[in-house]
A and B are shown apart, each in its own frame.
Chain A
Amino acid sequence: MPDPVVELTDVWRTYDTEPPVHALRGVHLRVCPGEHVAVVGPSGSGKSTLLNVLGCLDRPTEGTYRLDGVDTATLSDRQLATLRGRRIGFVFQAFHLLAHRTVAENVMLGELYTGLPRAGRRQRALDALERVGLAHRVDFVPTRLSGGERQRVAIARALVGEPSLLLADEPTGNLDTRTTDSILALVDKLRDEGLTVIVITHDAHVSEHARRVVQIVDGELR
């Protein structure tokens, strides 16, 4: 069995409110390279908290999280930022594209903080756009693209820098059914090319594409 990309061991995330909220209660999760995992659950189930922990945007209160074998608890905030820049590609429901920058520039943003050299950055961005099938939209601004095209730009941005993990948060939440299918097909294709994918969703249609589906209810995985 290969070394896991993601390894959560008895992870708790507790918010210091009154009374304290246990958003994650002893979560165990192993995701191996090339796996396609869907995390499904109703709202308020701890889905977003799990995403934030997986994306190194938040730290577990208890338990360990190893990303590519690196124990994230031992890292400083700066090291954690660099780690997520290099190892994780984010895809958001709201796309999060910069409206005043071209498609290529938005994609290039994906490796701005990774320490990769400037030389070849545009070419790498063009390659990523090629992979998501948007080579013909390179110099458009996002406001002139359809929703599906925008999400493809966001996926291309997540792909530059060669991340270990593609972390998608409701990637089709803002899209119609037909576009959803094409985006899901794109994700399937990337997985087949060897990318590790974790999708967080409440949409059964999205989770159908995953090889493994985990349910999260009240902060516990089922």
Chain B
Amino acid sequence: MKPRDLVSEALAGVLARPARALLTVLGTVLGIAALVATLGISKTAGNQIVGRFEALAATEVVAQPAGADQPGATTVNAVLPWDSEARLRRLNGVRSAGTLSSVDLGGDLVRGAPVEDPTQPAERSISVRSASPGLFAAVKAHASQGRFFDAGNDARADRVAVIGAAVAAKLNIGQLEDQPAIWIGETLYSVIGIIDDTARVPELLGSIVIPDGTARDRYALTAPAAVHVDTVIGAASLIAKQAPLALAPNDPSLVRAATAGEPRKVKGEVASDVNTLFLILGGVSLLVGAIGIANVTLVSVMERVGEIGLRRALGAQRRHIAVQFLAESGLLGLLGGMVGASLGILVVVGVAISRTWTPVLDPWLPFAAPLVGAAVGLASGLYPAGRAASLQPVDALRGGT
């Protein structure tokens, strides 16, 4: 018996009762659809999160002296030059760069100038940082009021400060039209801007930022602690390689430049949490589908005893009978898998549309799903096919019409 004969006999056997075939594969359809939809939706959702994460992460580089991020490293080695910003801006792919350092106030406290509130402590310990003018663009800071300091403020060591929104609230600073000022130690600083949002260094919201030049002048800051860089999309890893050379040409190994954390991991965690339940559900309906196919194939073997006898009389061997029933159940499974995969993909696309997401599918999924269906069909056909093949031709001919 040739393969083409086998396929056409199996097809004819399945199509003899199309309505029954459809009902038979319903369980498989639902199971495969659930599996495909679950895998597709989690992949789509995962990619959505990664997409948002990556737009931010793929453009961020932070350069620090090597070893600065080790626990216990308190002193900042004088590695990064004061003109880090200018050096990095020369690199192709850098949109903005700026230094950021913590300023050691030597015990000085911070006071707000305009209003003395007796219920609040007058002096506070607030972190003060120094930055080069390009930093604000590099960390994507947004000023709700006023402006950031510029290169002139930096060069003249002006006593100006940009404060985070949280600091402004603590010090009762509302409107910049009032020309507020704050005391750091015994020195008065004009507040020229308030930061209400920053995508990359949220600590700035609770800090006072003064120009590098001012910090060097007043607090003897020896070198910048870190350089933050904003690159064009896709250039982050290149800049991370070039930055050490630009910042410390004599010994690039002294500088460590890092891109933001590995986003792929995040995706994995999101996917595994969401899916387990639905994968189990899909598996259960697939099992039910397999039992359905096994059941109907068994009934069909009983109904077709006469046909089995006839085929044996026409020269069919046991294996021909077994293979034919296996092919029929496998075909049912394959059909169920194809319909199920299509339904599952429609669900994925539907969900993606309703959330304005981009639907994402593993390319192997639409091909693997029908194969899984066929495997389920074959497995459920094993027992009925064995029963059919074990019938004696004499009994089978007598048994049916």
Which A residues have a C-beta under 8 Å from some C-beta of B?
52, 55, 57-58, 77-78, 81-86, 88, 90, 92, 94-96, 98-101, 105, 109-110, 112-114, 118, 157
**Which of A81, A92, A99 has its CB near the most chain B CB atoms (within 10 A)?**
A81
Across the interface, do B9 and A112 meet the contact criterion of CB distance under 8 Å?
yes
Given A88-B313, A98-B307; 19 other pairs, CB 8 A cutoff: A57-B397, A58-B394, A78-B317, A81-B315, A81-B317, A82-B317, A84-B315, A90-B310, A90-B314, A94-B401, A100-B16, A105-B12, A109-B310, A109-B311, A109-B314, A112-B316, A113-B311, A113-B316, A113-B317
The closest CB in chain A to the CB of B306 belongs to A96
Residues of A within 8 A of B387 (CB): none
Taking beta carbons and an 8 Å cutoff, which residues of B are in contact with A? 1-2, 4-5, 9, 12, 15-17, 306-307, 309-318, 320, 393-394, 397, 401
Chain B's closest residue to A96 (CB) is B310
Give CA–CA (A126, B309) in the complex, Å: 24
Contacts of A84 on B, CB cut-off 8 Å? 313-315
Q: Which residue of A lies closest to B307 (CB)?
A: A98
B12: which A residues are within 8 A, CB to CB? Answer: 100-101, 105
Q: Are A110 and B317 neighbours in the complex by a CB distance under 8 Å?
A: no
Contacting pair B316 A92 (CB below 8 A):
no
- Known A57-B394, A92-B397, A100-B16: A112·B1 in contact at CB below 8 Å: yes
Please, how many angstroms separate the alpha-carbon atoms of A55 and B12 in the complex? Answer: 27
Q: Which residues of A contact B5 (CB under 8 A)?
A: 112, 118
- Which 10 A-B residue pairings sit nearest by Cβ, starting from the closest? A85-B315, A113-B315, A100-B16, A96-B310, A81-B317, A94-B401, A57-B393, A113-B316, A90-B313, A78-B317
When chains A and B are docked, how far (Å) is the Cα of A95 from the Cα of B307? 11
B318, A77: Cβ atoms under 8 Å?
yes
Secondary structure at the B interface, as helix, strand, loop or mixed, is: helix
- CA–CA, A84 to B309, complex, Å? 13
Q: How far is the CB of A173 from chain B (nearest CB, A)?
A: 12
A85 contacts B16, C-beta separation under 8 Å: no
CB–CB B397/A77 < 8 A: no
Q: In the bound complex, how far is the Cα of B310 from the Cα of A90, in angstroms?
A: 9
Tell whether A96 pairs with B307 under 8 Å between CB atoms, given A77-B318, A82-B317, A112-B9. Answer: yes
Nearest-Cβ distance from residue B324 to partner chain A, whole angstroms: 10
Interchain residue pairs with CB less than 8 A apart (5): A55-B313, A58-B394, A82-B315, A100-B15, A113-B320
The answer to whether A86 and B306 have CB atoms under 8 Å apart is no
What's the minimum C-beta distance from B155 to chain A, rounded to whole angstroms? 92
The answer on a CB contact under 8 Å between A114 and B315 is yes
A196–B153 CA distance with the chains assembled, in angstroms? 118
- Contact indicator B311/A118 (Cβ below 8 Å): no
B316 and A85 contact, CB distance less than 8 A: yes
Name the residue on A nearest B393 (C-beta).
A57
How far apart are B129's CB and chain A's nearest CB, in angstroms? 83
Closest-CB distance, A92 to chain B (whole angstroms): 7
**Minimum Cβ distance to chain A for residue B305 (Å):** 11
Residues of B within 8 A of A157 (CB): 314
In the complex, which residues of chain A have a beta carbon less than 8 angstroms from the beta carbon of B318?
Answer: 77, 81
A96 surroundings in chain B (CB, below 8 A): 306-307, 309-310, 313, 397, 401
Q: What chain A residues lie within 8 Å of B313 (beta carbons)?
A: 55, 57, 84, 88, 90, 96
Query: Cβ of A83: which chain B residues have Cβ within 8 Å of it?
Result: 315
- Assess whether A52 is in contact with B394, with CB atoms less than 8 Å apart: yes
Most interface-central of B2, B4, B310, B316 (chain A CB within 10 A): B310
CB of A77 within 8 A of CB of B306, answer no
A92 / chain B contacts, CB cutoff of 8 Å: 310, 397
Chain B residues, Cβ within 8 Å of A118: 2, 4-5
- Is A94's CB under 8 angstroms from B306's CB? yes
A112 & B314 in contact (Cβ 8 Å cutoff): yes
Residue among B4, B311, B313, B317 with the highest chain A CB neighbour number at 10 A: B313
Residues of B within 8 A of A113 (CB): 1, 311, 314-317, 320
User: B residues within 8 A CB of A110?
Assistant: 314
Report chain A residues within 8 Å CB of B393. 57
Residues on the B chain within 8 Å of A81, using CB: 312, 315-318
Q: How far is the CB of B318 from chain A (nearest CB, A)?
A: 7
Give the distance to chain A from B226, nearest Cβ to Cβ, in Å. 77
Q: How far is the CB of B7 from chain A (nearest CB, A)?
A: 12
Q: How far is the CA of A57 from the CA of B309 in the complex (A)?
A: 10
**B-side contacts of A82, CB under 8 Å:** 315, 317
A88 to B315, CA, bound (A): 9
Using A57-B397, A96-B309 as known contacts, say yes or no to A77 and B16 having CB atoms under 8 A apart: no
Assembled-state Cα–Cα distance A92/B230 (Å): 88
Instruction: State how many angstroms separate the Cβ of A16 from the closest Cβ of chain B.
Output: 14
Name which of A77, A78, A83, A96 has the most chain B CB atoms within 10 A of its CB: A96
